[in-house]
Structure 1
Amino acid sequence: MTGDLLLGQTLSFHGDPFAEGWESVARHIRRGAVLISDGRIEAVGEADDLRAANPEARVHDYGERLITAGFVDAHMHYPQTGIVASWGKRLIDWLEGYTFPEEIRLENPAYAAEVADLTLDLALAHGTTTVASFCTIHLHSADIFFEAASARGMRVVAGKTCMDRNAPESLRDTAQSAYDDSAALIAKWHGRGRATYAITPRFSPTSTPEQLEALGALWAEHPDCLMQTHLSEQTDEVAWVSTLYPEARDYLDTYEAHGLLGERGLYGHAIHLTERERARLAETGAAVVHCPTSNTFIGSGLFDMEGLTRQGINVGLATDTGGGSSFSMLRTMAAAYEIGQLRGRPLHPAELLWLATEGSARSLHLQGTVGHLGPGAEADIVVLDLASTPAIAQRSGRAEDIWEQVFPTLMMGDDRAVAATWVGGLEVQGAPDP
């Protein structure tokens, strides 16, 4: 067989480490190989075996570097790239002081295209091959994002953000226009190439019950779409929701009552949950998305990874840029580890890598398609240099196993650790021009 043969250490997963234990689901091959053909992974195995069986394949020898699935960022905001790492705001102040003024700028399609290009190039430079992004209320912001991803061959999830109250007038749509615009975008993009559409109410405070009802009806008409929003990020946000929806049992009920709770729902943050909310998320098979750098950066709280996974709730991992303070899923894994420490349950390196690949892909209903280093998956791959800086190199050099070798990169790595990124079976250059 022709195709491409990537040589190096390989790391793959064949189950959920939170449910089955990482020891039983992680597979590391010290001198491994990945065979790619026609944009998909054909085989993963021992290097000598795959070389002997595929003598005509183009060989890419990465030496001691680690080959694993490309990272999957399950929740981010491409319009907020320009305001990442802005100082000192709580959530509502962040929206009013930074987010809304910046999203107004994307009314200009040329600026929106510039930001979309930069965001996706930064993602690729950091080894992220799939992102799920909120756009703005402008219909063209979603068109532009999907077009930019298509030009790069990336699999993405995205949707026009819908808001009809508690936002500047220039960022408000209506219940009807949110429905109409989202329906038009679904018809144009959902399932086209590597695009998935997500119906996207920003969160309950910026949507009237009428708008949530309209979007719930749209989701019922297109149940194969995803639905993404925010849930219980900060305590003052939860209190605000209770005043806006006094009849609701809790925050999640503001979605549930309007047809916006379901198996293909994605709920970002989900920190301050009631027992009823946890039970309903588990019962419906919905996914929550952990955004650790954002949660610490704007002081939201500590996500309960142990408790939620024990209840069988699907969890993805995300940068949440620009509320999150880094485009790197490596930095995001480090923050998830730190939050686990503060909750008394530090995550193992295998659990962190699974969350950043398989777990996030599962939350997006893309399991086995992306985030997976195995036969049949789309060939989105990251190659990590486990000695990318002197500090990392001296620590990984003392490692007694792969987990000690990779952990310093998870804690201290950045885009310098990304030796190569493959998208759809092609090696790409992810870093933007300086």
Structure 2
Amino acid sequence: MNQKFVGKPWLDARIRNILTPLLWTQSVSNAGDYGTWRHNFIQNRLRLGLWIAFTSFLTFTGLEVRNHFFKPDQFNFSWVVTQITVELSLLVCFAFLRSTFGQKYPGLAFLIFSWSVTLSPHIRGTFSGVLEPSILVWPLMFFGQATLMPVHWRLHLISQLGVLVYCAGTTAALNLQVKMPAPWLTPAALYLYMFWICFICDLSVYLYERVQRAEFNARQELELAYVELTAEKERSERLLLNVLPESIAVRLKQEHQTIAESFTDVTVLFADIVGFTELSSQISPPELVELLNQIFSAFDHLAEEHGLEKIKTIGDAYMVVAGLPVPRKDHAQAIANMALDMQQALDQFNARTGQSCRIRIGISTGPVVAGVIGIKKFIYDLWGDTVNMASRMESQGIAGCIQVTHSTYDCLKDRYQFKERGIIHVKGKGEMTTYLLTGKK
């Protein structure tokens, strides 16, 4: 194959323009209503019919030209004139259909197209005083219109009646000689023959219109259902991402199996509201939930701002981690900044609402195992000694303070200020030295 012509954009565009009317691929949601869609459909089919008719007449013109040069005895000059007349009228139809008026009234373009093909030979016969009904052109045109251009059954009926009225009217008015195309064909048989052809064509178009409208409505409902399904899927995706990290959510949807990973270096933070139990007995449940929602929503914004992964809330406890599922070198610094900002956010909340809430914060650094377990209401959770130590730092911490383990202190001591709390007894660990984070250097 000549590579020169492969992938030509103009050729691809021309092929698409020609084939588009053959395919019912227009989105009904873009059309809006059936009338608009039907109007566009008719215009596309008219262009297709015009191209086919113009091409077919060109082939017959080419045949007559061949006869002129090679078979002069078969050459018919009057047919060449008729064919060129039809071709010119089809070009006029093309131009009319591209005009603003033609685009607004494509049915008029259809009638001009139909009569230019069916009546041109008979107009020539009218001037010669002989009218010969065409049992070849008429059925071919009427069936072609019904199959390729089913615009509307009433327009098809008008185009058919126009042909019959012209033939009958000119014959009566000009006293033309009627020449039957076949010796066995009588006027009564011709009328009956044309009646059944027109009836079948109009009935086909009518039934096609009903099927087309029903299919349009079905496709419209299908597209609407698809839009709703897409929106529901997006809502489900957002809910899933609120529960799981994005990378874990993708893996869970693809693998459908237990997900567990080990991370050697992360920092975990636990926070707990001091005196929450006493507070819950003093205010109503809706007020309590609203209070927690405001506080934890502020913490969520901070976690997103610092690029941290919120793990869960249990009651009035808040858990967040840095360094997973995507490892990062500054995990300890990110958690330290988060803890300091949490204290500041709670102070602002107290000043705004008149409350006197305080929090204990515990931080620990080290290895963890992270994953998703269970088959219902699953969450992304952490396990390991680092998690236990962060929880102990919080539960055995001081209200309003940030208590960290020695491992976290080693990561942050060069950039942050600490106060040594001293040796405390940690459940399950015994005596340990802990530190209180007070700010940045």
Specify the TM-score bucket, using the shorter chain as the normaliser: under 0.3
State the structure with bigger RCO (CA 8 A, min sep 6), 1 or 2.
1
Using structure 1 for the length normalisation, give the TM-score.
0.20
Greater helix content:
2
Greater strand content:
1
Larger Rg: 2
